[in-house]
Amino acid sequence: MLSSIFEPESIAVIGASNNETKWGGRILKNILSGFKGQVFPVNPKEKEVQGRTSYSSVLDIPYEVTMAVIAVPVQLVLNAVEECGKKGVKGLIVVSAGFSETGNAGLELEQKLLSIVKKYGMRMIGPNTLGIVNEPVNLNATVIGRLPRPGTISFITQSGTLGLAIAEWTIDMGLGLCKVISTGNKADIDDVDLIEYLDKDPSTGVIAMYAEGIKRGRNFLEAARRTKKPIIAIKTGRSKRGAKAVFSHTGSIAGSDEVYSAAFRQAGILRVDTIDEVFDAALAFSCQPLPRGNNVAILSNGGGASIVATDECERHGINIVDLAEETKEKIKKVIPEFASASNPVDTAGTSSYTAYSEIIKALLLDKNVDALIAIYVHTLMSDAIPPAEAVVEIKRKCPKPVIACWMGGKGIEEGVDILKNGCLPNYSVPERAVKALAALIRHREFLETVKTRAAEESE
């Protein structure tokens, strides 16, 4: 049923406008700019909106309407939704605000809205949503100016404005998105529905979430536990402490945040602290396989960066593995005598194509190594392109995950483009690269515990 919203055959925009600074104008323009199905503006005051025939009611549209976007003032919403029900519309995106987010009167109105939606067997995102994007069908029913780059990351956001700002930002970061879903007040469709839907959605590979609160907690955990797709979440409200000690110690310590953390972890949801981390991890998941274990090799042309990476690995329980003798022999052949052929491998300045290529090949062939962090530190004497070409070239033939960290300013841009086009996740500093790798490792460990548990239970 959610497919009627994400992959509609036709869309009515109720509250459509010629004025693009209005919601109903901007969203209509965005839908028209990419969506291939039929689109019907609804506005009783206009004959034509953005070059299309405007209808005074959804009931006047002489064609079938799968989905309606509702962007009218709050007092007109119930009537519009009732008409959508009568028309046989299956899915709704209610952008209009003024419901439960405003207080008790609004909550009452939202309950009325929900009962109309249910009466006609429709499904609804919102109210108070900023819409959805579904890139595979070129549907942009939001106010974001552009469609994101195609990709496998689907992003569920409870905050509309923050979510849309982030969606814009991911476009510039070159992250590929599949869906952006602003959940709004979650009166009908909530996180549980969305996780279940995205689990089955073939174009979604990774689920990223910005959540302020979760409805139907238990069901949410079950849905999250069932999906094999990684879920990375930032859950805000960490600072709220639990109720002061009224009765028990446990009660005073177990604030909602502690319980969220435990629950998320048990369900395999990767809870991170910052917005950067959500997308850093999502990027790694979207283009790298999971490592078999937590044994990592680090390559760098400078000692400092590899020490920072090593420290961060330690913090996340990632093992800087001892390399096989054979691997070290191969590495010694292409680095200066005084450089380090042990892990972390430090080429002492060398970053030629041949050196990086030979070392990466040796490291990835080493049975002890599960994943590689390839670092390049820019200097005036070096060129960011050859090592980038080397890592992309070798990675193409290898099933182990490789994370890149090209450090430097303007001088590395072309190298970074090569990495991006080669589907290598690249990060500006070693800590970010390590955290992204740690997310891959944690997810693999979670999938393994699910497997062992299933085996235990079937015994």
Partner 1 sequence: MTKILTEHEAKKLLAKYGIPVTEERIAGSSDEAFDIAMELGMPVAMKISSPEIPHKSDVGGVVLNVKEDEIKTTYSEILSRVKKAVPGASIEGILVQQMAPAGHETIVGLKKDAQFGHALMFGLGGIFVEVYRDVSFRVVPINKSDALSMISEIKGYPILKGIRGKMPADIDAIARVLVSVSDMAEKENIIELDINPLIVNESGAIAVDARAMVEGV
Chain residues in the site for partner 1 (CB under 8 A): 213-214, 217-218, 221, 247-251, 253-254, 256, 258-263, 266, 453, 456
| CB-based contacts of 148, cutoff 8 Å, min separation 6 | 133, 135, 167, 170, 171, 175, 176, 177, 180
C-beta of residue 58 within 8 angstroms of C-beta of residue 79: no
127: left (phi over 0), alpha (psi -120 to 50) or beta: beta
Q: Are strands 149-157 and 176-182 parallel, antiparallel or unpaired?
A: parallel
Closest CB 217 distance from partner 1, rounded Å? 4
Give the C-alpha distances (Å, rounded to integers) separating 62 from 47, 59, 451. 15, 8, 53
The nearer residue to partner 1, 136 or 217, going by C-beta atoms, is: 217
Whether the ω angle into residue 344 lies within 30 degrees of 0, i.e. cis, is: yes
Give the C-alpha distances (Å, rounded to integers) separating 407 from 247, 318, 383, 411, 412. 53, 22, 12, 9, 7
Report the distance separating Cα 372 and Cα 303, nearest Å: 16
Best CA proximity match to 160, nearest among 141, 188, 137: 141
| CB-based contacts of 355, cutoff 8 Å, min separation 6 | 334, 335, 347
The nearer residue to partner 1, 197 or 220, going by C-beta atoms, is: 220
The nearer residue to partner 1, 218 or 315, going by C-beta atoms, is: 218
C-beta of residue 63 within 8 angstroms of C-beta of residue 40: yes
Q: Which two tokens stand for residue 248?
A: 């028990």
Tell me whether residue 421 is exposed, middle or buried, using C-beta atoms within 10 angstroms of its C-beta: 0 to 12, 13 to 18, 19 or more.
Answer: exposed
Report the distance separating Cα 360 and Cα 373, nearest Å: 10
Give the C-alpha distances (Å, rounded to integers) separating 249 from 241, 263, 398. 13, 20, 52
Closest CB 233 distance from partner 1, rounded Å? 14
Q: Are strands 231-235 and 149-157 parallel, antiparallel or unpaired?
A: unpaired
- The distance of Cα 262 from the centroid of its chain, to the nearest Å, equals 21
Q: SS3 of 271, please?
A: strand
Closest CB 268 distance from partner 1, rounded Å? 13
Closest CB 192 distance from partner 1, rounded Å? 12
The nearer residue to partner 1, 93 or 267, going by C-beta atoms, is: 267
The nearer residue to partner 1, 172 or 456, going by C-beta atoms, is: 456
Q: Which two tokens stand for residue 136?
A: 């595979």
The nearer residue to partner 1, 254 or 365, going by C-beta atoms, is: 254
Q: How many CB atoms lie within 10 A of CB 403?
A: 30
Report the distance separating Cα 133 and Cα 154, nearest Å: 9
Closest CB 246 distance from partner 1, rounded Å? 9
